Chains A and B, each alone.
Chain A
Amino acid sequence: MNSSMNGKLLEIRDLSAGYSASVNIINDITMWVEDGEILTLIGPNGAGKSTLIKCLCGLLRYSSGSILFKQKEINGLKTHQIISQSIAYVPQTNNVFSRLSVEHNLDLGSLAHPQSRDQRLVHVFELFPDLKRYLGKKAGILSGGQRQMLAIARALMSSPKLLLLDEPSAGLSPLFRRQVFEHVTKIKETGVTVVMVEQNAKAALKISDRGIILAEGKLRLEGTAEEVLQSSEIGEIYFGAQNGSDA
């Protein structure tokens, strides 16, 4: 799959961050995200993938380096200020408000652009028609796969330019896993840039333009999805640990 190469939407320069001042989880990460592409971050557990995503949406302050979104530094901004710049993040777990209805969940996604709520609703129902049936129901009754769909739909309600997905296929049945990747492809076709952290490396890279391998908090490889899939690093770092099994 070819990158659209429309320019850098997100740039990360020499980024180091961790959960305590003395220990960094990620070190000197330099990478970028092209406008309109799907970029997959892969790596073994503890590689720093989720830490990196948390830095991108302001949940974690970084100790050094910089993050530029649309050429503007986002350091020092609070999470809601970063999210209001058309970045949407879907956490891996606890990603819907289970006591609220499906409709309320979707409404909360359109906080930044309430005037385009109805228009966005039509758009997300085109992608996730199943959600229409559950509109008035509490999100807590949905299955794991349906919750993931709702979480992604809510993120799309904010008309994001950049969508950050943290292991969207984790814990899902093979059917829902396939559906998630199909949806991500469709989302990209609407002009949304997607950065996806995934453990199902092969399936994720198949729909991606580029891939990045992180290991022990450092960037080990960056390239097109094809290059990353064919690389020896992926065997050593990732597939080796899983005996080559993948979705």
Chain B
Amino acid sequence: MIQFLIDGLVNGSIIALGAVGLSISYNVMRFANFAQGEVMAVGAYVSLGVLALMGLGIGKMGPVSFGWPLLVSILFSIMMTSIVVLITDLLVFRRLRDKDSSRITFIIVAFGISLIARNVIHLAAGGDQQFYSFYIPRAVQVFEGLKIVPDDMLILLITVLCVVLMHTFLNRTLIGKKMRSVAENPSLARVIGINVDQVIRGSWILGASLAAVSGTLHAHITQLDPEMGFELILPMFAALIVGGVTSIYGAVLGGLLIGMSEAIAVAIGWSSYRGAVSFLILILVLILRPHGILGEKERDA
């Protein structure tokens, strides 16, 4: 069972990173970004492209089956996905904001963009599954009955690092404080002199960076295919809602819960229902805490 829980923790941490990106766009831009899954997919495919260009494989670091080439590809992926989302914002979402469009318009447009992105990936990279490496990482026995894949530990470490950096960014930096103020009350943020458009651009970059990291890590432990974004978006939304949409820490907690619950479902022989289990948890949490575990009641500002 511990083995399954560790697997769940790793999957959950990847879902958590994506869900934090969703949480940022939901709180700062006030809409559910259905294209976040595709941003992760774009990030994963950019990493694949960079790895192919470098021609060095994914490298190796001691017992871990990936090294600096994959980490460098993640950095390039962060840059490229940030540019892609900023261009999308400039061409589409900014215009919607200027026209004061409704939230539902934003959601439908995001959904449309996700479909376009999925098909562009399909055209550009093909519909077949692809892999960063065909090497299968070996598990290391920690003690009797528990084997751990070193890659999983590094992925957990990268997730913790991302969350700590995010916490520091939001609480210690000026742009982070501005982001939190826009998330709480955009009208007030505007009248105290905050450039809300600049903050929105910052939150796009932040969400895309997290998506690039989580998309690449997810592709590393599974595989790449154009549908990966669509497959990830539902658990990410479940994580966001379970944790509470107003809290990025809630998104982290929700991601881990969803990952673990899916792992437990597999452990007890319900692998066909693993997706349903996470939504069962979602329903239970919402009955007990309608705003999610760490969420607060939303206010239309």
- A109 and B196 CA atoms in complex are apart in Å by 15
Q: Given the complex, which residues of A lie within 8 Å of B92, measured CB to CB?
A: none
Contacting residue for B191 out of A79, A97, A114, CB 8 A: A79
Q: Are B191 and A111 in contact (CB under 8 A)?
A: no
Q: Are A91 and B180 in contact (CB under 8 A)?
A: no
Main secondary structure of the interface of B (DSSP, over half): helix
Q: Given the complex, which residues of B lie within 8 Å of A83, measured CB to CB?
A: 191-193
Residue A192 CB within 8 A of the other chain: no
Q: Given the complex, which residues of B lie within 8 Å of A114, measured CB to CB?
A: 174
Contacting residue for B185 out of A97, A104, A111, CB 8 A: A97
B196 nearest CB neighbor, chain A only = A80
Q: Given the complex, which residues of A lie within 8 Å of B187, measured CB to CB?
A: 59, 91, 94
Tell me how far the C-beta of A19 lies from the nearest C-beta in chain B, rounded to whole angstroms.
Answer: 11
Q: Are B191 and A154 in contact (CB under 8 A)?
A: no
Q: Are B301 and A59 in contact (CB under 8 A)?
A: no
Residue A184 CB within 8 A of the other chain: no
Q: Are B193 and A91 in contact (CB under 8 A)?
A: no
Q: Are A108 and B194 in contact (CB under 8 A)?
A: yes
Residue A158 CB within 8 A of the other chain: yes
- A83 and B189 CA atoms in complex are apart in Å by 11
Q: In the complex, how many residues of chain B place their beta carbon closer than 8 angstroms to a beta carbon of chain A?
A: 20
Residue A89 CB within 8 A of the other chain: yes
Q: Are A57 and B191 in contact (CB under 8 A)?
A: yes
Q: Are A108 and B190 in contact (CB under 8 A)?
A: no
A68-111 vs B, CB cutoff 8 Å, 1 = contact: the mask equals 00000000001110011000110100111111100010011101
Q: Are B193 and A98 in contact (CB under 8 A)?
A: no
- A154 and B188 CA atoms in complex are apart in Å by 12
Q: Are B192 and A99 in contact (CB under 8 A)?
A: no
Listed residue (B180, B192, B195) with the most chain A CB atoms within 10 angstroms of its CB: B192
- A58 and B186 CA atoms in complex are apart in Å by 14
- A83 and B188 CA atoms in complex are apart in Å by 12
> A-B pairs with CB below 8 Å: how many?
65
Listed residue (A95, A97, A107) with the most chain B CB atoms within 10 angstroms of its CB: A97
Q: Are B184 and A104 in contact (CB under 8 A)?
A: no
Q: Are B180 and A80 in contact (CB under 8 A)?
A: no
Q: Are B184 and A89 in contact (CB under 8 A)?
A: no
Q: Given the complex, which residues of A lie within 8 Å of B130, measured CB to CB?
A: none
B284-301 vs A, CB cutoff 8 Å, 1 = contact: the mask equals 000000000000100101
Q: Are A91 and B191 in contact (CB under 8 A)?
A: yes
- A48 and B144 CA atoms in complex are apart in Å by 76
Given contacts A94-B301, A108-B178, contact A100 B192 (CB under 8 A): no
Residue B95 CB within 8 A of the other chain: no
Residue A112 CB within 8 A of the other chain: yes
Residue B177 CB within 8 A of the other chain: yes
Contacting residue for A97 out of B174, B184, B193, CB 8 A: B184
Q: Are B191 and A89 in contact (CB under 8 A)?
A: yes
Q: Given the complex, which residues of A lie within 8 Å of B301, measured CB to CB?
A: 94
A78 nearest CB neighbor, chain B only = B195
Q: Are B177 and A107 in contact (CB under 8 A)?
A: yes
Given contacts A94-B301, A99-B296, A108-B178, contact A80 B185 (CB under 8 A): no
Residue B119 CB within 8 A of the other chain: no
Given contacts A99-B180, A111-B174, contact A94 B188 (CB under 8 A): yes
- A153 and B189 CA atoms in complex are apart in Å by 15
- A133 and B181 CA atoms in complex are apart in Å by 22
Listed residue (B189, B195, B196, B299) with the most chain A CB atoms within 10 angstroms of its CB: B195
Q: Are A84 and B193 in contact (CB under 8 A)?
A: yes
Q: Are A91 and B188 in contact (CB under 8 A)?
A: yes
Q: Given the complex, which residues of A lie within 8 Å of B189, measured CB to CB?
A: 108
Given contacts A80-B194, A111-B174, contact A95 B180 (CB under 8 A): no
- A158 and B187 CA atoms in complex are apart in Å by 18
Residues 181-233 (chain B) with a chain A CB within 8 angstroms: 181, 184-185, 187-196
Q: Given the complex, which residues of A lie within 8 Å of B178, measured CB to CB?
A: 108, 111
Q: Given the complex, which residues of B lie within 8 Å of A91, measured CB to CB?
A: 187-188, 191
Q: Are B184 and A98 in contact (CB under 8 A)?
A: yes
- A99 and B181 CA atoms in complex are apart in Å by 9
Listed in ascending order, the chain A residues whose CB lies under 8 Å from chain B are 57, 59, 78-80, 83-84, 88-89, 91, 94-100, 104, 107-109, 111-112, 114, 154-155, 158
Q: Can you offer 5 A-B residue contacts whose CB atoms are under 8 A? A: A57-B191, A78-B195, A83-B191, A91-B187, A98-B184
Q: Which 4 A-B pairs have the closest CB atoms?
A: A83-B193, A80-B195, A79-B190, A89-B191
Listed in ascending order, the chain B residues whose CB lies under 8 Å from chain A are 174, 177-178, 180-181, 184-185, 187-196, 296, 299, 301
Q: A84-B193, A94-B301 are in contact. List 15 more A-B contacts (CB 8 A).
A: A80-B193, A80-B194, A91-B188, A91-B191, A94-B299, A95-B188, A97-B188, A100-B177, A100-B180, A100-B184, A104-B177, A108-B194, A109-B192, A111-B192, A158-B192
